[in-house]
Chains A and B, each alone.
Chain A
Amino acid sequence: MAYSEQVIDHYENPRNVGKMDEADAHVGTGMVGAPACGDVMRLQIKVSDEGVIEDAKFKTYGCGSAIASSSLVTEWMKGMTLDQAGEIRNANISEELALPPVKIHCSVLAEDAIKAAIDNYKSKQ
């Protein structure tokens, strides 16, 4: 399968790979997917008292498109408010990465991960 340049770039140089302390009250963690399905994403956000995402980290087990989708959203989310981040849609991701139809589910998973991280953060407040 041919990958787009954007996917290869994020795959070769993934942004914001890492892990934050899940117990920290400022950190929201979203883990979505399942190993049996071939992709698991863990997305974490660090939110300031003003509700702005100061930092974002990810780790992903999955194909190149899944890795690129999660890498891309960590870049986008930094500096966004929670509401802004919650408005990121899978279509934005798949468009930016030029994902083929069979890989759209990777962008859906990334959108789910954002929502899960935000929900997790909110549940801690």
Chain B
Amino acid sequence: MKFRGKIIDVACLNHFTRVVTTISKLTKMCVLRLTPDNLFFVLSGKVANGGVGMWCELSQANFFDEYQMEGVSSEDNEICLEVTPENLSRALKTVQSAKAVKVKLTKKHCACLTIAAELPTMSSISRVVTHDVPVDVIPRRLWHEFKEPSMPDFDVSIYLPPLKTMKNIVDRMKNLSNFLVMEANLNGEMNLKIETDLVSVTTHFKDLGNPPWGDDASQDGGPSQSRDPEAMVQARVDIRKLQQFLVGQQVNPSKAMCNIVHERVVHLILLHEDVSLQYFIPAVA
């Protein structure tokens, strides 16, 4: 098992840092899966995580100037590590001015992802800082838990309004209730609702648009085809989970959308040219 990547370009370093920081806002621990072409940050939707799932995919070529890895074996050419994204984020944040940053898997007091940076100095010799972030190597028998989640058989898919707007609304709603109802229809309308004994608040969005999915997606086929475009599907979610997702957004997505399975799950997708982030929030009764 070997892994070493090197980032020289400042913009790439900055972008990578923002992605990792976004992940760190979403979860304390997650799995970093390394393949020859991609890096994945994965949180499997287990009960221990409150049912929240995450899948973030980065193409290594867009971030790393050098990238070498050798997986567990030639047929399983992957490395799976449990990491604390907060630590990675902190380490990366302090080396933003670096001439070059290396991320490598090392064996120190324990297995570590070592972030080594060469910092510019006044002297002839560069200053080197290393951050050893402890990781747990995940054995192959557990890898099946960290495969890409399948697209849920959603009832409605809709583009999200600007995330900042959504965040402002959700932040205020959080003061009133612990749960929020997200509802949307095929007519490009979405509502964010809270309902308590004392107050009901709804924010209406319209003309958001519904993303066209291929034939295999449920929206164009099966029962949903006959769906009334005005009919709302809804999911009631823990407002903190949604807020976490909105607060962490450091990456400006080119597309942000949301799939809702009626009373089952909210599936948020952010697409950026070289990063994609999916986030699953289970509905609560």
Q: A and B: real partners?
A: no
Task: State the B residues within 8 Å of A (CB).
Answer: none
